[in-house]
Amino acid sequence: MGRLTPIAAAFALMLATGAGAQSLQELPNSGAGPATAEDGVTTSDGGAMTQEEAIAATPDDPAVVPSAVGGLANAGTMSDAALGQPLGGYNIQPQVTALGKRADGFNIALLSIMAVVTLFVFGLLAWAMLKFRRKSNPVPSKTTHNVLIEVLWTVVPVLILVGIAVPSFALLLDQYDPPEADVTVKAIGHQWYWEYEYPDEGGFAFDAIMLSDEEAAAANEPRLLATDNRVVVPVGATVKVLVTSVDVIHSWAMPAFWVKMDAVPGKINETWFNAEQTGVYYGQCSELCGTRHAFMPIVVEVVEPAQYAAWVAARQEDAGIDPTDLVEEEIATADEPDVPTVDAGAGGEMSDLPTADTAPPAGTVVEQSNTESAPTN
C-alpha cells in the first residue's frame, strides 16, 4: 500500500492541474464561444436562426428540393455492397482517395511494426524468465552495465520512431494542404440530419433524411445508412467540404475517403477529398450529438462529370436558379480580394479560437486541422 500512495497523489495532482488548465482555456472564450441564441446562426437562406429555432427544425419538416426523378435529389447510382459501406470484417473500408489509400497503407505498416516489436519484447521476457529463473541459474550475475546493449536499446527505438514520424508528418501535411477546389459543398449539421448547400452553383440546398428500414430495403441500400437526398460530386474532382452546425457539435465522416471533420456551431471547418471511383459511399455523424445521433447518416454519390452537370442543372431548375446569372456574378466578383484565412493550428484547441477581441472580420474562414481524420470510430 505504501508504494501506491505517491501514485495516487500524482494522479490526483494530474487531475487537478488538468481541470485547472481547462477552465483557464475556457475563460477568454466565454463571450465568443459556440453560437448562442443571442448570436444567432446564419442559415442557408441568409437569415438568422436562433438555437431554439434550429433545434425545432426537425426532420419532420425538411426543406427538400423536389427532383425531376422520383422526388429524390440524387443521381440514381445503385449502391454496391462491396464499396463505400461496412463490409462486416475487421479491416478498414476500401479507400477510394489517394490520401485514403496512403493512410490505409500507413495504418497496416504501423500495425506490422507494432506486432514485430510486441513479439520481440514478449520473446525477450519469456527467454529471461526461463533462462534466469532460480532453478536453472542458482548463482545470479552481478553485471550492472553493458555499454553496447544500452546504446542499442536507445538507438534502435529512436530509429524506429523517426522512421514512423517521417511518413506520418508527410501524410498529415498533405491532408491539410488541399489543391484548389473544383466543387464546394457545405454540410450543415442539425439535430438530427444533415443539410447540404452548393454555394458555387447558385446556393441550392437540400436536407438528407435517413430512409426507414423498409425504404432502404426497397432501394437495395444498407439499413441506417441511406438517405433520401445525397451529396452528388463528380469523380476525380477536388471537393471542398465546409462543415458547420446550427445546434450542437456533429461530425461529418466518410470512412471510404478517410475524412472526418467536426461540425461546430458558429464555426466553419474545412476538409476535402478527391474520389477516384464512382459509386455510392456511406458515412455517419461521428460526434455524439443527442438521442438520434445514430440516425443522421451521410451519403456521397460520386458520378461522371457529365452526370454531375446534369444533376446540378436539375437542382438549379428546381430551386429556380438561372445558371446564366451565376456566370455574370462570377465576373462581377472576380476583382474582389480573397478572404483572409486564419489557421487555428494543429491542436484546434479552444484557446486557439479567436476571442471577441481578436476575432477576424466577418466572412473569414477559420481552418481547423483535422487531428482525428481516421475513419474508424
The residues binding Cu ion (CB under 5 A) are 250, 285, 289
CB of 366 to Cu ion, least distance (A): 21
**Nearby residues of 174 by Cβ (< 8 Å), 6 or more positions away:** 99, 102
Instruction: Please identify, using beta-carbon distances, which residue of 210 and 366 lies nearer to Cu ion.
Output: 210
Instruction: Please identify, using beta-carbon distances, which residue of 92 and 246 lies nearer to Cu ion.
Output: 246
> Which residues partner with 300 through β-bridges?
231, 281
CB of 256 to Cu ion, least distance (A): 19
Could you count the other beta carbons within 10 Å of the beta carbon of residue 230?
A: 26
Instruction: Please identify, using beta-carbon distances, which residue of 250 and 267 lies nearer to Cu ion.
Output: 250
CB of 263 to Cu ion, least distance (A): 7
CB of 250 to Cu ion, least distance (A): 3
Note whether 297 and 224 are within 8 A (CB). Answer: yes
- Terminal C-alpha separation, the chain: 38
Query: What phi, psi does 111 have (nearest 5°)?
Result: -60, -40
Instruction: Please identify, using beta-carbon distances, which residue of 183 and 300 lies nearer to Cu ion.
Output: 300
CB of 189 to Cu ion, least distance (A): 5
Instruction: Please identify, using beta-carbon distances, which residue of 171 and 268 lies nearer to Cu ion.
Output: 268
CB of 103 to Cu ion, least distance (A): 23
Nearest to 173 by CA among 373, 1, 24: 373
Distance CA 221, CA 146 (A): 63
CB of 312 to Cu ion, least distance (A): 27
Instruction: Please identify, using beta-carbon distances, which residue of 104 and 195 lies nearer to Cu ion.
Output: 195
Distance CA 43, CA 159 (A): 51
Question: Cell numbers 458515412 correspond to what residue?
Answer: 283
CB of 339 to Cu ion, least distance (A): 27
Distance CA 293, CA 284 (A): 9
CA dihedral 134, 137, 138, 144 (to 10 degrees): -100
Instruction: Please identify, using beta-carbon distances, which residue of 99 and 208 lies nearer to Cu ion.
Output: 208
Residues in the chain, total? 377
Q: Residue 227 is which amino acid?
A: T
Instruction: Please identify, using beta-carbon distances, which residue of 103 and 187 lies nearer to Cu ion.
Output: 187
- 3-state per-residue secondary structure call for 118-171: HHHHHHHHHHHHHHCCCCCCCCCCCCCCCHHHHHHHHHHHHHHHHHHHHHHHHH
